[in-house]
Amino acid sequence: MALDNAEILKIAKLARLQVNANQVDDYADSISSILDLVDAMQKVDTDGVAPLANPLDAEQRLRVDEVTANNQRDDFMAIAPKAEAGLFLVPKVIE
Amino acid sequence: MSYTTIAQLSQGLKDGTFSSRELTQDVIADIKLRDHQYNSFITLSEELALAQAEAADKRIAAGQAAAMTGVPIAHKDLFCTQGVRTTAASKILENFVPPYESTVSQLFLDTGAVSVGKTNLDEFAMGSSNENSYFGKVKNPWDTNAVPGGSSGGSAAAVAAGLVAGATGTDTGGSIRQPAAFCNLTGIKPTYGRVSRFGIVAYASSLDQAGPMTHTAEDAALMMNVMAQFDPQDSTSMQMETPDYTANLNDSLAGLKIGVPKEFFEAGLDAQVAEATMNAIKQYEAMGAEIIDISLPNLQLCIPAYYVIAPSEASSNLSRYDGVRYGYRCDDPADLMDMYCRSRAEAFGEEVKRRIMVGTYALSEGFYDAYYVKAQRIRRMIKNDFVNAFSQVDVIMGPVTPSPAFDIGSKTSDPVAMYLEDIYTLSINMAGIPALSTPAGFVNGRPVGLHIMGNYFSEAKLLNVAHQLQQVTDWHQQQPQSLQGA
């Protein structure tokens, strides 16, 4: 399955990856070749086969709703690229 | 340091032949002296290691030592270590110092093992050659023109070079077993859910599993005794007792039924690797095992299904790297969208970006059923093949890789050629069963691994089967020529 450049740019936007004009052809080639590889699946008859998400078919285990971790807010703020007064700073989103 | 096992170091510490501090100092000095040849470490944690060693010496003196107390090991740089930089070999985490400890590394701290540092890997564990690291390629100690395998290539090279006796790895599609095979080690991927994933930088959450990489099956059992614990912090961790993995190493293999799938020996397998693999399997006949031809008819489908499921889960997991809370942020973002897109584009490597894009496509509107759900249906067919096989046989054996370690740079231009390297290992992660690689000889001076696969939670049996081979062969004791006499 070959992807055109517009499709590559759409995927890149969904993936939040900047792709420059001079890289689009390379991505189109390499991602198309990967999709060619995975398209071998489409010929397989999987009717009646239930999808397998967890290899043990295990259910998500739930725990008792109780406080188990200490407040580590300062530790987590300390490793942020930009933080101030207990807040993560990002470019302005509201005019 | 010559060929030394965890069991030997443990004995030496117990006997007082050397202290953990002396041993740890030697190990760190050796890494500083020799690792420039292999690039197997990203970060050394010398001060912490020496403090851990001193604490271990006190425990040993007080008669409170466990088997691994005082033994220096290394962790793949995918395990979060509190206060020690954890990079996943990515620029995006180049300066990330985790505020918390992964469960696996915590369990080793609890038992008094010494962590000397963090080993190199393919970025975010995506790769089969350890050529995708932001911190440079790793070289194979058996031949520095060859790749060590990936993604746990730094752990494999560090143990193969004798820098440490054991290291942790992770295996999403072969990332413990393939580098173990390429570097002449024992490496086991446990059953999905056996070892906690808490604090391991996530790649594909339904496939990821951590395990040990060592010279011997006995050493792997000693590390499994520490690692394989139920963890309430990992919702997929199985709530079950941990057996003593060393207890059954010496069990007789008389009557063991070994399945050999014909699909593992078809076109694409190097003839000399096939010969070495069959030669290793034949060793078991003398032990009273029975070799049975079997079939895993859907084996070939593991490649397309894996390269949908793993990138899909990766694209979701890696969406957390947004430049807001931790990790790399681009300079002077124009707005929020620009910050997301440029931070990620500037700091993820090419293979990581490719897999994010493939996964994003597979999960996008209109394609989800045709790709992700289809792959999950095929995943069940692959699992069912193994379930059927294990109704006939106790273990399955075959090659780990289609060829011995390939030359650095020989497959980097074609991602699909690199993906085909994983043909024998991917299906194990898809099914979630345990499997290991144990040394099985050499082809043109490069090691070959024997792949031993078992039913769910049969790790002790797999280690028993590998240990018995290691009692009658000496492949696992061979050392790279460059280290002989060192």
- Residues B6, B164: Cα–Cα separation, whole Å: 9
Strand spans (E) along B224-328: 257-261, 290-294
Q: What was the pLDDT predicted at A93? A: 84
Mapping DSSP to helix (H, G, I), strand (E, B) and coil, where does residue B452 land?
strand
Low-confidence ranges of chain A (pLDDT < 70): none
Chain B residues touching residue A55 (CB < 8 angstroms): 192, 206, 379, 383, 429-433
Range(s) of the domain holding residue A11: 5-43
pLDDT in tens, B315-333: 999 999 999 999 999 999 9
Q: Are B289 and B253 in contact (CB under 8 A)?
A: yes
A contact residues 33-92, partner B, Cβ 8 Å cutoff = 33-42, 44, 46, 49-56, 58, 60-63, 72, 75-76, 78-82, 88, 90-92
Residue A27 lies in a domain: yes
Residue B2 predicted with pLDDT over 60: no
Is B151 tagged catalytic?
Answer: yes
Q: Catalytic residue, from B10, B19, B40, B76: name it.
A: B76
- Closest CA in chain B for residue A44: B378
Q: What was the pLDDT predicted at B429? A: 98
Q: For testing the chain B interface, which of A38, A39, A94 should be mutated: the one with the most B CBs within 10 Å? A: A38
Domains of chain B are: 6-256+477-483 (3.90.1300.10), 300-372 (no CATH)
Residue A10 lies in a domain: yes
- Closest CA in chain A for residue B303: A38
Work out the pLDDT band at B57, boundaries 50, 70, 90. very high
Averaged pLDDT for residues B440-456: 98
Q: What was the pLDDT predicted at B420? A: 87
Averaged pLDDT for residues B208-237: 97
pLDDT in tens, B10-42: 999 999 999 999 999 999 999 999 999 999 999
- Residues B349, A34: Cα–Cα separation, whole Å: 17
In angstroms, the Cα distances linking B333 to A87, A93, B329, B341, B345 are 18, 12, 9, 10, 13
Residue A89 lies in a domain: no
Percent of chain B with pLDDT over 90: 96
- ipTM comes to 0.96
- Residues A7, A75: Cα–Cα separation, whole Å: 41
User: Could you tell me the pTM of the whole model?
Assistant: 0.97
Contact check, Cβ <8 Å, A56/B193: yes
Domain count, chain A: 1
Residue B386 predicted with pLDDT over 50: yes
* A74 burial type by CB count under 10 A (0-12 exposed, 13-18 middle, 19+ buried): exposed
Other beta carbons less than 10 A from residue B305's beta carbon: 29
Averaged pLDDT for residues B66-84: 98
Given the structure tokens 């990967």, which residue do they identify? A34
Q: Catalytic residue, from B40, B102, B115, B175: name it.
A: B175
Strand spans (E) along B302-414: 395-399
Work out the pLDDT band at B1, boundaries 50, 70, 90. very low
Contact check, Cβ <8 Å, A41/B431: no
As a whole number, the mean pLDDT across chain B is 97
Is B175 tagged catalytic?
Answer: yes
Averaged pLDDT for residues B121-127: 97
- Angle (CA) B16-B22-B25 rounded to 5° is 155
